Structure 1
Amino acid sequence: MLNEKTVGEIVKEAARKFPETEAYVYPEHGIRKTYKEFDEETDELAKAFIGMGIQKGENVAIWSDNKREWLLSQFATGKMGAVLVTVNTNYQEKELEYLLQQSDSTTLILCESFKGTSYLDIVRTVCPEINNAEKGNIQSAKLPHFKRIIVMSENEYPGIYTWSELLAHAEGVSDEILEQALKATHNEDVINIQYTSGTTGFPKGVMLSHKNVVNNGQLVGDYIHLSETDRLCIPVPFFHCFGCVMGTIASVTHGTTMVIVEQFEAGKVLQLVQDEKCTALHGVPTMFIAELNHPDFAHFDLSTLRTGIMAGSICPIEVMKKVMEDMGASEITIAYGQTESSPVITQTKTDDAIEKRVSSVGKAHPGVEVKIIDPVTGEDTPAGVPGELCTRGYLVMKGYYKNEEATKSAIDSNGWLHTGDIAVMDEDGYIDITGRIKDMVIRGGENIYPKEVEEFLYQHPAIQDVQVVGVPDAKYGEELMAWVILKVGESLTSEELKEYCKGKISFHKIPKYVEFIDAYPMTASGKIQKFLLREMSKEKIEA
């Protein structure tokens, strides 16, 4: 049975069932709030959004690490019907400009800075009109829909609302108006747009409905047996589905306490698991590897840890075993999916045989169809034969925002979402992901499409051609290697190219390795053989 509630309604339900259970904890700031208080806080913020003039269906972008304001905004927009557009914390100027433009966002909520990067400086570069604008009435030449900016602080900036100025807008909005907004929000409405890199080099806005994310979060939590007695440590970023569906929504649908880490640090996570007596922990493989290899790992008491989810990239078998044995998370599970599927398609169960739990991504969730097809013929493949994994059901996105062509190429006429991932299914329905049809690189849980990086590097005046491939990396799973053909008479070093990238594209997209080459391996028809470049890359880094 599908959960028919909206994102706003699940907060109300949790507050009714578990009013005194802690909803969220920010140990770094000494903040603890019960589900009753969480419901009241998100009511006030939802009223503030309404009072500010934000309408149902309006796109509100949010750019921050895992701050309390992000969490409150997720559920407040869920109550009053605005659409939360999540922004990758690593974005730089060009990426932010593209997202705000393509998404038609009217509003940007942001923190002041992240890891030494001033978000305020970046947004002023994208929209210089802010400096002379009246708050709430920004008029940008590049961004015709853009009206307002809210900062997650009390510091005053020209043209930008402080957080308390936002909250002051709640005063003129009655409980009845909020109730009407909540009732007018339907579970088929889009609640979230998440941008994912595209093979064209431009990110695509994945539109997810209340039904998509509420049910996916519910099922993810069911699989690890979450309840109001559990405490889930969430160090994965909220702007990913891992954080804001498998983390926050999975918790709220089960009355579970969210122990939130603003920015991942292995030692901090271990400390919080110990101090807050966490029973569950989420992470991408690189996070778990960093925790297991922390110099003080043996001194932390992780005895309360029971479960959690490892996902985001292919999970190494040895790492899974260590998490079970050394961290004591004997019921840890692996989940597989993508943003377009809300995100989880398959997941292992806590009582699956150990071999299945460490070497597969489990079976399809209840109510979710999967099939493996021959990518050329489209015919179903028999058990044990690899092909492209396709899925169908409540979890499939509504489509890509303002991109019908890309939507049609992802979702076929029968409703099947084509993942682009190569998988094998055994006789019992367990699935193993063996590779990717596309050339996507997954670095520490971040999906990178080489074409996006290539498109950027092509802009360098010394570069004639460039091809980017993924190479194995012990820490991040994969890293990028760029193979560069220089223009005649030009010179460029690896260091100079990396310096050129800094501050222009996200740091995780900057190639770790740069090699210069005179010609690429080609097919007879003139196509570059990327698989040979990958082999050459591996040989280079292993030499």
Structure 2
Amino acid sequence: MLPRGKILSEVLAETVAAYPHNDAYVDPDSRETWQSLARKVDLTAAALWKLGVRKGDHVAVMLGNSVQWLQTFFACARIGAVTVPVNTRFKTEELAFCLKQAQAKAIVLTEQFLGIDFTALLSDVEPALAGTLPGDNLPRLAMALMFDSQAVPAGATDFDRVIADVTDNDVNACYAQCGRVDPDDILLIQYTSGTTSFPKGVMLTHDNMLSDAYAVSLRMGITSDDRYFSIRPFFHVAGSTLSVLVSLTTGCCLLTLPKFDVAQALSLLEQEKCTLTSGNDTIFLMLLGHPDFDPSKLHLRGGWAAAGPEVMQKIHDQMQVPNLCNAYGLSEASPNVVMSSWDDPLQLRTEGWALPHDGVQVRVVDQNTGEISPMGEPGEIQVKGWSVMRGYYNMPDVTAKTFTDDGWLKTGDLGKMNQEGRLKMVGRLKDMFRVGGENVAPTEVEGFILMHEAIELAQVVGVPDDRLGEVPAAFVILKKGRRCTSDELIAWCKPRISNFKVPRYVRFVDSFDEIGMTGSSKVQKNKLRAYAINALGLKESGK
């Protein structure tokens, strides 16, 4: 049975007591034991308390992967405040929307991150940062707390200095006064990646996220001796739940980087003797395709991936990771819904057949009839149980539409169920397109293209066609030193997949960064489709 009904501070105390001197967190600038990390949390919580942060307050966190992100998240949890992670890729309009919609009372940020001037970005959103907060644009934002700042604006506070001035009496006062925090209290409001529209704030509780982390750690077979490298950004649930809280609930060491630099990642995996890692297909293919990749230098035994069969097989065969788990989930479910076990047969893990966690129910529903789909037939994945969100913050109508009348979360994802109750995610309903009346899942076509020896990455979207409605367009990145033409790739596909799935258009690109990537290293299909229509000189149907 899963350990349920705990709060983050309780789990942190247990982990610190069990493994005080073990490594807890490592990045290029930091190395913390559980004891030293806990001390930073104590000081940060006391600093927030002194500044007036209280239970239920919303604290936005605009930081990259760092010990500062961890200590702020854990400190908010200690008080009972709600962390609102801010996507570090947000531009002005997205940041303004997030801070206003979340009704943030405070924001914790750094002056610069990866060349982005966060101070200037926040000033564009709320000009009162130059004088006194709150301002007219964000009337609820009373505090801007800055780490690593050389020039703190008049309306902001030097958070490093406030933390440095905290005394043990302040820590004790925070402990004594901050009051009771319950497992069903909101721990975090996760703004979804926003691949199709402005993001929605998913409300997740202590119990949601900690229970999901516990469940995932059991499937992965983690022990306190593991060293878990995760490049997933902490502002995403694959970072907060499946990286940070998996480490917290098991006592294993979490290792990360502020951004995904492939050479740096491979170096860290080797030097720190990492035993576990995680990622999606893009991340693993970039690791495998790098000139520095050498499986003999790695120590990986497992971890998890959200990837198709071709990529899963490559990770096993070429990266030589024997016990990798396949995972499916979404922010609204904390996020993991199903994960294969590290000791499942390889074929089940590569093909993506995985069981739900104990206490989580999954069903597959026919979109046309609303009835349960027959075994092996695709339908919408729907979820019920302890991992499901409390709803979208301040969006009751949208929340209501996301659930069925009998309380199941509608994921918008397409899946199949087998007779053992294992689920396989097939694709995203919103990404599906129809070619002459036939449904096409981009992930399926991408999987076939990745079997070509010259291809490193592939992304497929449906683009307008006068005769068929839509046809596939593939955007691909070649492996270094490899050559392939559009005609050659199309000819290679024709005998291998159904004619309606063969890309009509193939374009080679160097990167998807400029086209549009989410913070979780997913290509934004809506932006890619718009890019494709423009690049190919097409017009939307009916225009």
**Same fold by TM-score greater than 0.5:** yes
Is the 8 Å Cα contact of residues 50 and 173 (structure 1) preserved in structure 2? no
Q: Please, which runs of 5 or more residues in structure 2 have no aligned partner?
A: 433-441, 447-458, 462-468, 479-513
* 1:370 paired to 2:362: yes
- CA drift of 1:361 comes to 4.5
Q: How does 1:192-231 map to 2 (within 5 A)?
A: 192-197=188-193, 201-231=197-227
Is the 8 Å Cα contact of residues 230 and 278 (structure 1) preserved in structure 2? yes
Match of 2:392 in 1: 400
Query: CA 1:410–1:469 in structure 2 vs 1: closer, same or farther (change >3 Å)?
Result: farther
Secondary structure (helix, strand or coil) at the match of 2:139 reads coil
Query: CA 1:257–1:469 in structure 2 vs 1: closer, same or farther (change >3 Å)?
Result: farther
Q: How does 1:7-406 map to 2 (within 5 A)?
A: 7-26=8-27, 28-29=28-29, 31-133=30-132, 138-158=133-153, 159-168=155-164, 170-171=166-167, 174-180=170-176, 184-197=180-193, 201-298=197-294, 301-302=297-298, 304-311=299-306, 315-406=307-398
Work out the CA distance in 2 between the residues paired with 1:328 and 1:426: 28
Is the 8 Å Cα contact of residues 266 and 292 (structure 2) preserved in structure 1? no
Work out the CA distance in 2 between the residues paired with 1:265 and 1:283: 14
Q: How does 1:473-488 map to 2 (within 5 A)?
A: 473-474=475-476
Tell me the amino acid that sits aligned with residue 303 of structure 2.
Answer: G
Query: CA 1:175–1:87 in structure 2 vs 1: closer, same or farther (change >3 Å)?
Result: closer
TM-score normalized with structure 1 length:
0.80
Query: CA 1:54–1:271 in structure 2 vs 1: closer, same or farther (change >3 Å)?
Result: same
- CA drift of 1:39 comes to 1.5
Work out the CA distance in 1 between the residues paired with 2:470 and 2:136: 34
Work out the CA distance in 1 between the residues paired with 2:291 and 2:427: 33
Equivalent in 410, 417, 438 of residue 425 of structure 1: 417
- CA drift of 1:166 comes to 3.3
Tell me the amino acid that sits aligned with residue 317 of structure 1.
Answer: P
Work out the CA distance in 2 between the residues paired with 1:471 and 1:502: 15
C-alpha RMSD of the superposition: 2.8
Work out the CA distance in 1 between the residues paired with 2:371 and 2:39: 52
- CA drift of 1:368 comes to 0.7
Question: 1:155-202: CA deviations, max 9, x gaps?
Answer: 122222223233146338644433346651111000101111568822
Q: State how many pairs are aligned.
A: 467
Question: 1:339-372: CA deviations, max 9, x gaps?
Answer: 0000000011112121110111411111110011
Query: CA 1:472–1:358 in structure 2 vs 1: closer, same or farther (change >3 Å)?
Result: farther
Work out the CA distance in 1 between the residues paired with 2:540 and 2:332: 34
Work out the CA distance in 2 between the residues paired with 1:206 and 1:472: 32
Work out the CA distance in 2 between the residues paired with 1:109 and 1:68: 13
Is the 8 Å Cα contact of residues 50 and 80 (structure 1) preserved in structure 2? yes
Secondary structure (helix, strand or coil) at the match of 2:414 reads strand
Secondary structure (helix, strand or coil) at the match of 1:381 reads coil
Query: CA 1:142–1:387 in structure 2 vs 1: closer, same or farther (change >3 Å)?
Result: same
Question: 1:250-279: CA deviations, max 9, x gaps?
Answer: 011001011121111111111111111111
Work out the CA distance in 2 between the residues paired with 1:229 and 1:86: 29
Is the 8 Å Cα contact of residues 334 and 357 (structure 1) preserved in structure 2? yes
Secondary structure (helix, strand or coil) at the match of 1:54 reads coil
Tell me the amino acid that sits aligned with residue 217 of structure 2.
Answer: G
Query: CA 1:380–1:281 in structure 2 vs 1: closer, same or farther (change >3 Å)?
Result: same
Is the 8 Å Cα contact of residues 390 and 418 (structure 1) preserved in structure 2? yes
Percent identity of paired positions between Structure 1 and Structure 2 = 31
Equivalent in 521, 527, 530 of residue 541 of structure 2: 521
Indicate the larger mover: 197-206 or 340-349.
Answer: 197-206
Tell me the amino acid that sits aligned with residue 147 of structure 1.
Answer: A
Q: Could you list the structure 1 runs, at least 4 aligned residues long, displaced by more than 6 angstroms after superposition.
A: 440-443, 467-470, 505-508
Tell me the amino acid that sits aligned with residue 145 of structure 2.
Answer: I
Is the 8 Å Cα contact of residues 49 and 170 (structure 1) preserved in structure 2? no
Is the 8 Å Cα contact of residues 48 and 170 (structure 1) preserved in structure 2? yes
Secondary structure (helix, strand or coil) at the match of 1:389 reads strand
- CA drift of 1:213 comes to 0.3
Work out the CA distance in 2 between the residues paired with 1:75 and 1:469: 48
Work out the CA distance in 1 between the residues paired with 2:515 and 2:62: 20
TM-score normalized with structure 2 length:
0.80
Tell me the amino acid that sits aligned with residue 143 of structure 2.
Answer: R
Q: Please, which runs of 5 or more residues in structure 1 have no aligned partner?
A: 451-466, 477-500, 523-527, 529-543
- CA drift of 1:471 comes to 4.9
